[in-house]
Amino acid sequence: MARLAKEGRTAASEVRKKIKEEGVDGNAPQVNQDDDADEDEEKDLTEMLTWTNTEGKKIRAAVVSADDTKVLFRMANGKEINYDISKLSQRSQDIIKERLER
């Protein structure tokens, strides 16, 4: 039980660090809809969506690419972040898997 709690604290700490690095919170601004953003969105697996991790934290990002273990998010500010899929909520994981199957 103590190990699980420690892993949860570590995961939460990683998410907070990523959010702080990217300047993103649960109320992330919408992406500007200019021509460049439209071109990027066409290349992404998903449009800009709100994703939830296993700790309940939310980010707003598009999925650029993903495999069985990692997802590459493009944040609203254009920065890209690799993230461990297993740290996402089951619903978020299901959306990514669904898009990969297309």
Residue pLDDT, tens place only, 8-42: 566 767 777 766 665 554 444 444 444 444 444 45
| Amino acid 1: pLDDT | 52
Residue pLDDT, tens place only, 46-88: 899 999 999 999 999 999 999 989 999 999 999 999 999 999 9
Is 76 within 8 Å of 60 (Cβ atoms)?
A: yes
Domains and CATH numbers, the chain: 2-100 (2.30.30.700)
- Its pTM stands at 0.58
Mean pLDDT of the chain: 77
> In whole angstroms, what is the distance from residue 101 CA to residue 42 CA?
17
- CA angle centred on 49, ends 64 and 24, rounded to 5°: 90
